[in-house]
Structure 1
Amino acid sequence: MPVKPVRSRNVVQPQDYKEAVALERKRQAELQLQSRWFNARERLIGGDYDAWAAQVHDRKIQEATEKGKHEMMGAEMRQNDRIACILDERQRKDKRNLQKAISDFRQAFQKPESRREFDLSDPLALRKDMPARVSDQDVSCTVSGLQKFMGEDLSARERKKAQEEQNREWALEQQRMWSDALADHRSAEDAFTKTRLEFDQTAMHLQKLELATKRTVCAAVKDFNKNQILEVAERRRRERRQEEEDNMAEIANMLQSDFLSENPQQAAIPLGSHRVVPDRWKGLNKEQLEEIRLIQKQQIHEKQRLQEEEKQRDFDLDRQRIQAARANLLFERQQQRLSRELRRAMDNKNLQLAREHKDMQDYLKEQVYTNYPTAQYFTQFNTTSK
């Protein structure tokens, strides 16, 4: 006899993998089926929740994209406002620096003491003034002071030469100070111009970007308005052509109408041959009048006949109504008598059934229903899809 190979308990065979995969597939299918069957909302409504979830997800993505666009536009606007504020602040700062430089220059190089006419308004002029006479060679002695007379000015040449030298020194000093002030002013203007050019270039760049954006928007609006104008013109042209065709058709119909051609059939209307349109009626002839009188006589005789028949019919109906009322009264009395008998028999039957039901309930409670199910009994239902 062939010996069957013994499978070790610790060795995993390929059949084990297949069985495990099959069991896992069945378990997943069972879980999916239970999720569909035990979900009362999906089972009753029958909605595609995956499609709804995908739509909600797409809607959220779209809203997030729109929000990102608005935030980006807001950030760009805030950046532009920040740049404008920075440029404005720099301009004010440069203006303050220039004013401060001018004020410092005036305080440093344009003091009242350095002016040529300062001695005329010097508040300490009396303290700085020399005495009336220091010596015989004092140049401050005037003619009215009787300190020096004509012909006694022996140092006039030296004094004049000293005055000329002093004037030359003052002129050179003023030229040097003016050159330094001009150089400082020129350097300050160059720095201010350079800064202003940088600000202008930045503003021009921003203005170009804004003009490009406006140009694009204006082009799109222009194309849209152009398309709208073309559509309106085409629609008006079709309406005008349709109106012209309608007018031509109306004119042709009026020319070929029965009213202008005086057709006698134009006064007839679909409601009856005896009815006509008053504004189109041309009058009756003798044949029509005789026919109308004959029809009126026939209608009178017919009406009299119908009245006689209606009287006879009403008389027959009254007689039948009286007979039916009498028969109904007799039938109702018989029905009431039968109803009382049936009610009496039904009451007896119900009483008997109530007694039998009470006896059955007592029997079930005392003999049959002695072992009531516990909560563990109800938990075994709705656990699988089988």
Structure 2
Amino acid sequence: MYKLDLPIDLKEKAAIERRRRAEKERQGRIFNAKHRQIGIDKEALNQQIQDRNWMDDLEQKRAAAFAQDSIRNDTIAQLLQRRQEYDTRENNRAVNEFRALHQQPSAQREWDINDPDFLKKDMPARVSDDDPRCGIAGLQKFQGEDLNSRARNKYQQEQLREWSRMQQENQKRTQQQQQAADQLFFSKQIELDQRAVELQQADEQCRRDINKSIRNYNDALFGENQERRALKKRQEDYDNYAEMANMASSDLLTENPDQAISQFGPHRVVPDRWKGMNEDQLRRIREEQQKQAEEKKRRNEEEQQRENEWNQRRIAEAKAGMILEKQIERERRENEHYLYNDNQRLSNEQRNLKAYLDRVVYTNQPTAAYFTQFNSSSR
């Protein structure tokens, strides 16, 4: 009914065989203690570190060589640049010396045309009126020119001197007139000053007369004021004496007790007139104070009695508390004793159970076959 002799798939067989072979190789690598490695390869790492250090040293040497080469090239370039600058300066100096010695502007062929001082060195077109170079075609001499300028200038100078002399005479005459006017002004001023002095003297005399009359009036007024003050003082003295007499006989100084009775009732007094209590009032007050002292003493005795009762009650409660604490302590010790006995019983039971297990239950000891089944696969 069922066909059981089917051929095995070659691919599956090859895969199974490949896995078996890989498993054996893996077991050979893992179970071989000589070739098995656990952790990292320290020798390989050390070799890598040495290679890296060697490369770093090589790179540093290479960089140092390049640096030395760069420094040498820079030095050579600086020397060449200095040499070139020196040659340039020497050439420029030689050129300037040649120009200064052999190429002066005055040695040029066109110097008479380009000379900036040519006009300064040349003669003017007309030196004087008798200059023979001034011909008809030169347009340097014309009719109507002022040929007598020297005589005219001399005449003008004499005229200026005459005008100056006339101005000096006018100034002198003006000064004389001014002096005469000043003399007249000074004389008039002296006359006015004398008049002012006379007026001032008259004014001072008038002031003295006025002050004298005012002083007389003030003296009379002072006497009148003195009389008025004396009269006023006598009146004040009389009033003071009368007031003193009234005060001496008044109810205030005599301390009349009837004046302190208020209009609102005999039990009320006027505060500003009250002079104190009488003997009857003082006696009633002392009796009231005595009653208050006795009442206070009675209350203190009652308070002391209540305090004693409370103290006795607290002592009784403290004794009851101590008895209760002793009873609780006794019960606690009994509970601890019971718990100790119970623990002893449980300990004996566990000890017996362990002995039973060791003697009866745990009797099957493992053999060598039990340990060989471990580490038999690489998985």
Larger Rg: 2
- Give the structure, 1 or 2, with the largest relative contact order (CA under 8 Å, sep 6 or more): 1
TM-score by length of 1: 0.26
